Amino acid sequence: MSKQSAKEKAVVLRKAGKTYSEILKEIPVAKSTLSLWLRDVGLAKAQKQNITQKRLDAALRGALKRKTDRIALTEKIKKEAAIEIGKLDKKVFWLVGAALYWAEGNKQKEHNIASGVKFCNSDPLMAKYYHNWLIEYCGVTKENIQFEVYIHEGCDIVGAVDYWRKIIPISLDVPIPVRIKKGNTASYRKNKGKDYYGVVRMTVRRSTNLNRKIMGWTEELCKQFMLYSGVV
């Protein structure tokens, strides 16, 4: 095909509402050349709308492809990570729970040496793990665990309470007080919307000594890790 014939065909395709990408598939020239050929080609409103819609559709397909690839990559990495963990024993589960409390639990201070065991978090897996850990490894009975939900005002309070009852789970006959956090509801906080359930707080009754025991576990865990890693 001669250069002139290619240009004429490009103009016809453009007037038919084809995008540059679609034309280039039929006429293999440089994009800059095609742009030069078509710069004076006028398009009807319907043609412009058609081209715009094609661009939007292409962008959506690209976004969907990237999302699909990201999900597949995430699943691949998670499966590989799970294999690396291997089979764990009971002591590991015990130490993980202690580490969770070390990171997220209430610690005794010089000014409050009789503080009990309290844990607050919004992660459903962490909350469920910690609840089971209290019972399995600390000998706490379900009757001695109190619950509270902290949530921002204007959110679905009933939905949040139902959510935590199902996650942990918590019996329907166990009361769950709700503490409302006042604040600027028009802020750019991410923790709001239909998937926001606030945070759940678990308090163990008469647990001052248990708190001290957990502190002993975590301090020894840290000490042995430092020795193992050669840090003094």
Q: Check whether residue 14 and residue 119 sit in a common domain.
A: no
Q: Check whether residue 41 and residue 127 sit in a common domain.
A: no
Q: Check whether residue 42 and residue 117 sit in a common domain.
A: no
Q: Check whether residue 19 and residue 107 sit in a common domain.
A: no
Q: Check whether residue 194 and residue 141 sit in a common domain.
A: yes
For the beta sheet containing 145-152, the strands, ordered from the edge strand earlier in sequence to the opposite edge, are 118-121, 199-204, 145-152, 178-181
As given in the structure block, the two tokens for residue 173 are 């006959």
**Does position 99 have pLDDT exceeding 90, yes or no?**
yes
Domain boundaries, position 216 = 90-229
As given in the structure block, the two tokens for residue 51 are 């081209």
Contact between 189 and 151 under an 8 Å Cβ cutoff? The reply is no
Q: How far apart are CA 69 and CA 40, in angstroms?
A: 40
In a domain, 69, yes or no: no
Q: Check whether residue 94 and residue 209 sit in a common domain.
A: yes
Q: Check whether residue 59 and residue 95 sit in a common domain.
A: no
Q: How far apart are CA 161 and CA 158, in angstroms?
A: 5
- Phi and psi torsions of 213, nearest 5°: -65, -45
pLDDT, tens digit, 9 for 90 and up, residues 162-217: 999 999 999 999 999 999 988 665 555 565 667 899 999 999 999 999 999 999 99
Q: Check whether residue 137 and residue 194 sit in a common domain.
A: yes
Whether the pTM exceeds 0.85: the reply is no
pLDDT, tens digit, 9 for 90 and up, residues 111-130: 777 899 999 999 999 999 99
In a domain, 68, yes or no: no
Question: Count of domains in the chain?
Answer: 2
For the chain, the distance separating the N- and C-terminal CA atoms, rounded to the nearest angstrom, is 78
**Does position 81 have pLDDT exceeding 90, yes or no?**
yes
Q: Check whether residue 18 and residue 106 sit in a common domain.
A: no
Q: Check whether residue 18 and residue 104 sit in a common domain.
A: no
44 band by pLDDT with thresholds 50, 70 and 90: low
- Whole-number mean pLDDT of the chain? 88
Contact between 20 and 34 under an 8 Å Cβ cutoff? The reply is yes
Q: Check whether residue 224 and residue 113 sit in a common domain.
A: yes
Q: Check whether residue 216 and residue 121 sit in a common domain.
A: yes
Q: How far apart are CA 3 and CA 8, in angstroms?
A: 9
Among 8-22, 75-89, 108-122, 138-152, the range scoring the smallest mean pLDDT is 8-22
CA distances from 11 to 16, 38, 47 (A): 9, 6, 13
